[in-house]
Amino acid sequence: MIRGLLSVLLVLVAVAVSSSLAKPEKNIAKRGKRIPQTLSRGWGDQLIWAQTYEEALYWARAQNKPLMVIFHLEDCPHSASMKKAFAEDKDIQKVLDEDFIILNLVYETTDKHLSPDGQYVPRIIFVDPSMTVRADITGRYSNRMYAYEPSDIQLLLSNMQKAKKLLKTEL
Amino acid sequence: MIRGLLSVLLVLVAVAVSSSLAKPEKNIAKRGKRIPQTLSRGWGDQLIWAQTYEEALYWARAQNKPLMVIFHLEDCPHSASMKKAFAEDKDIQKVLDEDFIILNLVYETTDKHLSPDGQYVPRIIFVDPSMTVRADITGRYSNRMYAYEPSDIQLLLSNMQKAKKLLKTEL
């Protein structure tokens, strides 16, 4: 019995209400068939995506690679424009494929470390394989430090290079 | 900084090693392009799948529907044969589409309630929208109480009917 999860649930509900999170999309194709949902959700169909944060952390650790977590929403225009720029940028896609563990989420996790300055989308957070959230790797906007816009693609690429310089750790 | 997660990590690593979990699959299609990973993973391409356990719990609660969690592995023949029977059974697919929140995972969560008698695949666990794991809804095998084989499809269907009778809750 998961009574202990009740508080987590309440947090989740609060998060969902306050962030107006997307309902599970029902992509109905022309012939009445739904299009299977993909893990990439359009952020890079050729990349290998982790499904969950637990899985992503495991792979980051096992392969000693930094993790990039993208928070977004399907029906958010800022997310959509960032996604397009992101998916079309060959440098970003190449570096991600070779050097990163990647995860995109349309739902917040219960881990507060992934929202250092709040829950908003789009938001890109790096996590070192030592399992340290790289709160030091930020974008251009002081009010939403982990937000990126399409014009920030070069900054994102340079932040990826920062994330690749792994933190020293005593682990 | 996620120092606190270190113990979780160690558990995860232990789990991964002991369960010989699948590596992220690299489906390379004939033309050298990878096939985008789907959330359904072949368990029902026409169904709407939750991505994470947190998301699934949220939707179970919000829609007052029971949740079915399927643990499986891509390279496990028992998982594969069960998946085939499951995806091809129209009754199961219909009931799931109408009355269930569904999640399939190739990676264990950190929630021990989802492994009442151990971590193995394939394993199907029901969760009531009151967030109570329905440990009482079991399959045919006393040593792996939440395992199902293709010949157990009717039992699974009747267990789904059980899960639809929601627990009374004082919440």
How many domains would you assign to chain B?
1
- From the list B25, B36, B109, the residue facing A54 with the nearest CB is B109
Q: Is A127 helix (H, G, I), strand (E, B) or coil?
A: strand
Q: Is residue B117 part of a domain?
A: yes
The pLDDT mean for chain A works out to: 86
For residue B3, the chain A residues in CB contact (below 8 A) are: 131-132
Calpha distance B110→B15 (Å, rounded) = 10
Q: pLDDT (tens digit, 9 = 90+) per residue, A69-113?
A: 999 999 999 999 999 999 999 999 999 999 999 999 999 998 999
Give the pLDDT of residue A35: 85
B34 contacts A48? CB cut-off 8 A: yes
Q: For residue B124, tell me if it sits in a domain.
A: yes
pLDDT tens by residue, A145-169: 999 999 999 999 999 999 999 997 5
Are B36 and A45 a contacting pair at CB < 8 A?
yes
Containing domain of residue B61, as a range? Answer: 51-141
CB contact under 8 A, B62 and A36: no
> Is ipTM strictly over 0.95?
no
Q: Which residues pair with A65 in a beta bridge?
A: none
A11 is a domain residue: no
In a domain? residue B87: yes
CA distance A13 to chain B (A): 7
The residue of chain A nearest to residue B57, with distances taken between CA atoms, is: A9
The mean predicted confidence, pLDDT, of chain B is 86
pLDDT 10s digits, B39-78: 999 999 999 999 999 999 999 999 999 999 999 999 999 9
Residue B71, H or E segment = strand B67-71
Whether A68 maps to a domain, the answer reads: yes
Q: How far is A169 from chain B (nearest CA, A)?
A: 11
Whether the predicted pLDDT of A10 surpasses 70: no
State residue B7's pLDDT score: 47
Q: For residue B10, is it within any domain? A: no
**Token digits of residue A24:** 């599970």
If you measure CA to CA, which chain A residue comes closest to B109? A54
Within a domain: A2: no
- Whether residue A118 lies inside any domain: the answer is yes
CATH number at residue B65: 3.40.30.10
What value, to the nearest 5°, has the Cα angle with vertex B102 and ends B108 and A45? 75
Task: Give φ, ψ of A124 to 5 degrees.
Answer: -125, 120
